[in-house]
Amino acid sequence: MSRKLEKHLRINIERAKYTHLYHRSHVSEQFRTLRTNISFLGIGHGVRTIMVTSASQGEGKTTTLANLSIVLAQQGKRVLLIDADLRRPNIYKMFGLSNEIGLSNVLSNMSYVENAICNSDIANLSILPSGPIPPNPSELLSSNTMKEIIDEVKDDYDIVLFDTPAILDVSDSQLIADLCQGAILVIRSGKTNRDNAIKAKEKLLNTNARLLGVLLNDGNPKVLN
């Protein structure tokens, strides 16, 4: 790996694990507020499967979700983070895991889910990486096996979180939202186009998941205040 790529990866990891590395920071405090809000809106009402998506690529889904998983685990919740982005998987990189065995293997009946779940370096946080990128992600995610996997893991964890691709790009996120109880839409300040944000929200409202909220990523606090 070139030095430039290595540095880029290091910075991405730092952002994804910010709440672990900088527990007392303002950003970590914001994530704890998000945790409280989600607890009021969802977890406190029996919502235990939550997916995160955004309209387009690069809006901060994975970074946000990694930090949300960490603050939930820090609270003592048993958390399973599933990388259901079978197209541009990143969770395994953020947590320094192997991606040789993961969700795609389980969905292709090549592995048992319990053998594909890894421990992370964060207490209470387990991870199911995506596994190798398959040629047919939507087909795999819409299979009955996906439903069975969720049913199987749901009882072992307090909360199961899903990373997904951009909802306007492919149908995968809607498929996953149909299997989840809650959804969070990430929009990125200065990046997400307004019409796309509305389209993404409408797509989510057409699924079985309850839209728990919209998260503004990368907002300038000075502008927001």
Residue 57 CB, shortest distance to Mg ion, in Å, is: 8
The nearer residue to ligand ATP, 57 or 119, going by C-beta atoms, is: 57
3 class by beta-carbon count within 10 Å (0-12 exposed, 13-18 middle, 19+ buried): exposed
54 binds, among Mg ion, ligand ATP, none (CB under 5 to 8 A by kind): ligand ATP
In the shown chain, the binding pattern of residues 170 to 209 toward Mg ion, with x for contact by CB under 5 A and - for none, equals ----------------------------------------
The answer to whether residue 59 forms part of the interface with ligand ATP (CB under 6 A) is yes
DSSP 165-224: --TTT-SHHHHHHHH-SEEEEEEETTTS-HHHHHHHHHHHHTSSSEEEEEEEES--HHHH
- Choose one: 41-49, 56-64, 75-83, 206-214; the region binding ligand ATP (CB under 6 A): 56-64
The answer to whether residue 166 forms part of the interface with ligand ATP (CB under 6 A) is yes
Q: By rule CB under 6 A, what count of residues binds ligand ATP? A: 16
- Cα separation, 38 vs 62, in Å, equals 17
The answer to whether residue 62 forms part of the interface with Mg ion (CB under 5 A) is yes
Phi, psi at 107, each rounded to 5° = -65, -25
